[in-house]
């Protein structure tokens, strides 16, 4: 998401250079809360408009993607969240202002949606296979940039958002984005229904790009105090060797294992929309309805689960996350009516809220006061291969046995995941509240 001043556009530079305080005051924290919530909300609207898990699989399917190829696309997306993170973490440790690093690279997250629109308008109708490959490449570029910027952005948020309100921050940004995303989903539905394929998806991707660029403006307004202590540069191989230090932290090591199990728990998530559209014989634009329900549920639940996690600890959110997902899978498997499908996506909104808010907030809690960039980079990097394999395996199982067996299997893994999290992960926020 963001880096060096010399590489930052002059307009953006003037915006944030004007506000580089020696220390953050309560007023600065309030300012950061507002502009970063707005950035987060607008970014989430863009993600909803060009959803990787509801709309993009349908787009790819219409371009001729097989179930195995759909699994490969999801695997590439999942791999992108993690593999580049270690390089992002390494660069973040040497950047006094994490915001500068994020601003330098964040266009790699946003511009691909413009190119997806251009592919839809000018290539997809004549060169379906080429368009499928290029679209997958664009989506990979987006998520690989996101993965690279994950540790720098999280490190920045740890600095600029009051620790007492982190869960609320993630929740408000997600909730605002979800509520705005309902309107975005309705726009997407209208565009999908009123225009022929593939131009309809082109308009959707172009609208998503607009929201991404709007979020960029608010991101640049963040006020951040430069770090006074930076880590020395070191060869990448040494940085990889330092990852072993993460494993000496027992609680974080268990959390890493929990994240790996979660990769397989959610391995079938990308197939739910395609499965329900086929099972109920629904038109493609129904996917926009599903997205709207996810957004509504996510918006409403965010304002509950974020503050709840700040009070009771974000481990609770992750436990709810597993329960909601297993129930959603069970409903999807037995789905015979459209109303039941809507219930599935209502639960998926809660899954998104508790997973995003709980996962990010507890990661910051677990790494607070430690070498956080190394911890976060290690977490994303080490879980990436499993996130890559899980949807590939599910795609192969779908091709061989149909949709139901892999959904049942991942549901069973989700139950195991719940009990592992319950028994082996200690919530640092709860422990601190107990001591005080």
pLDDT at position 100 is 92
Are 231 and 93 a contacting pair, CB within 8 Å? yes
DSSP sequence for 164-184: GGHHHHHHHHHHHHHHHHHHH
Q: Does residue 225 lie within any of the structural domains?
A: no
Strands (E), 260-398: none
Determine the longest span between alpha carbons in the chain, in angstroms.
65
CA–CA distance, 399 with 235 (Å, rounded to integer):
43
Altogether, the residues listed in the chain come to a count of 436
The three-class DSSP label of residue 289 is helix
Q: Does residue 160 lie within any of the structural domains?
A: yes
CA–CA distance, 231 with 235 (Å, rounded to integer):
12
Q: Does residue 14 lie within any of the structural domains?
A: no
Walk along the chain (436 residues) in steps of 10 and give the mean pLDDT of each run: 41 50 82 92 83 81 85 76 81 87 94 96 94 93 91 89 83 80 78 90 94 94 85 70 82 93 89 89 82 84 86 92 96 94 94 88 83 82 84 86 93 96 88 64
CA–CA distance, 45 with 39 (Å, rounded to integer):
10
The three-class DSSP label of residue 2 is strand
CB atoms within 10 A of CB 297: 24
Q: What is the pTM of this model?
A: 0.71
CA–CA distance, 372 with 248 (Å, rounded to integer):
14
Joined tokens for residue 55: 């709309």
DSSP state of 231: P
Q: Does residue 18 lie within any of the structural domains?
A: no
CA–CA distance, 407 with 399 (Å, rounded to integer):
13
CA–CA distance, 244 with 234 (Å, rounded to integer):
16
Taking the alpha carbons of 209, 364, 231, 88 in that order, is the dihedral positive or negative? negative
- Partners of 2 in beta bridges: 102
Q: Does residue 284 lie within any of the structural domains?
A: yes
Q: Does residue 42 lie within any of the structural domains?
A: yes
The three-class DSSP label of residue 322 is helix
pLDDT at position 21 is 61
CATH number at residue 358: 1.20.1250.20
Cα→Cα distances 191→151, 196, 349, Å = 35, 9, 23
CA nearest to 109, candidates 82, 74, 77, 149:
149
The three-class DSSP label of residue 139 is helix
User: What's the domain range around 80?
Assistant: 23-219+248-431
CA–CA distance, 185 with 178 (Å, rounded to integer):
10
Burial of residue 6, with CB atoms counted within 10 A of its CB: 0-12 exposed, 13-18 middle, 19 or more buried:
exposed
Joined tokens for residue 295: 């957004």
Task: Tell the residue number behind the tokens 């349908």, with chain if given.
Answer: 58
Q: Does residue 382 lie within any of the structural domains?
A: yes
Q: How many domains does the chain have?
A: 1
Q: Does residue 237 lie within any of the structural domains?
A: no
Are 261 and 416 a contacting pair, CB within 8 Å? yes
CA nearest to 153, candidates 99, 81, 91, 230:
99
Burial of residue 108, with CB atoms counted within 10 A of its CB: 0-12 exposed, 13-18 middle, 19 or more buried:
middle
Taking the alpha carbons of 171, 314, 269, 350 in that order, is the dihedral positive or negative? negative
């Amino acid at each position: 998401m963001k880096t060096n001043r010399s590489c930052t556009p002059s307009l953006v530079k003037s915006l944030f250079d004007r506000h580089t305080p020696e220390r953050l005051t309560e007023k600065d924290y309030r300012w950061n809360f507002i502009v970063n919530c707005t950035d987060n909300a607008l970014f989430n609207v863009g993600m909803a408009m060009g959803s990787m898990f509801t709309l993009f699989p349908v787009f790819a399917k219409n371009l001729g993607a097989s179930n195995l190829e759909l699994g490969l696309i999801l695997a590439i997306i999942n791999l992108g969240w993690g593999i580049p993170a270690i390089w992002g973490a390494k660069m973040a440790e040497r950047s006094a202002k994490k915001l500068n690093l994020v601003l330098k690279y964040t266009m790699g997250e946003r511009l691909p949606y413009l190119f997806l629109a251009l592919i839809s308008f000018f290539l997809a109708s004549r060169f379906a296979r080429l368009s499928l490959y290029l679209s997958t490449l664009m989506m990979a570029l987006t998520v690989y940039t996101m993965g690279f910027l994950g540790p720098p952005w999280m490190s920045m948020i740890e600095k600029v958002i009051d620790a007492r309100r982190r869960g609320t921050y993630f929740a408000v940004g997600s909730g605002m984005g979800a509520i705005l995303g309902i309107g975005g989903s309705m726009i997407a539905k209208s565009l999908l229904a009123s225009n022929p394929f593939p131009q309809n998806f082109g308009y959707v991707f172009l609208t998503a790009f607009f929201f991404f660029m709007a979020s960029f403006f608010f991101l640049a307004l963040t006020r951040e105090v430069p770090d006074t202590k930076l880590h020395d540069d070191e060869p990448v191989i040494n940085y990889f060797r330092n990852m072993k230090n993460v494993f000496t932290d027992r609680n974080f090591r268990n959390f890493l294992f929990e994240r790996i199990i979660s990769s397989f728990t959610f391995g079938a998530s990308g197939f739910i929309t395609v499965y329900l559209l086929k099972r109920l014989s629904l038109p493609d634009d129904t996917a926009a309805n599903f997205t709207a329900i996810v957004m509504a549920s996510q918006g409403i639940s965010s304002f509950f689960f974020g503050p709840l996690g700040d009070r009771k600890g974000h481990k609770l959110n992750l436990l709810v996350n597993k329960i909601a997902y297993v129930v959603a899978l069970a409903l999807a498997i037995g789905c015979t009516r459209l109303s039941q499908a809507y219930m599935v996506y209502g639960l998926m909104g809660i899954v998104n809220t508790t997973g995003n808010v709980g996962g990010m907030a507890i990661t910051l809690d677990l790494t607070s006061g430690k070498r956080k960039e190394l911890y976060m980079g290690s977490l994303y990097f080490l879980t990436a291969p499993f996130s890559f394999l899980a949807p590939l395996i599910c795609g192969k199982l779908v091709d061989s046995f149909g949709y139901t067996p892999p959904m049942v299997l991942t549901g069973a893994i989700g139950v195991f995941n719940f009990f592992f999290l319950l028994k082996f992960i200690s919530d640092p926020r709860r422990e601190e509240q107990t001591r005080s």
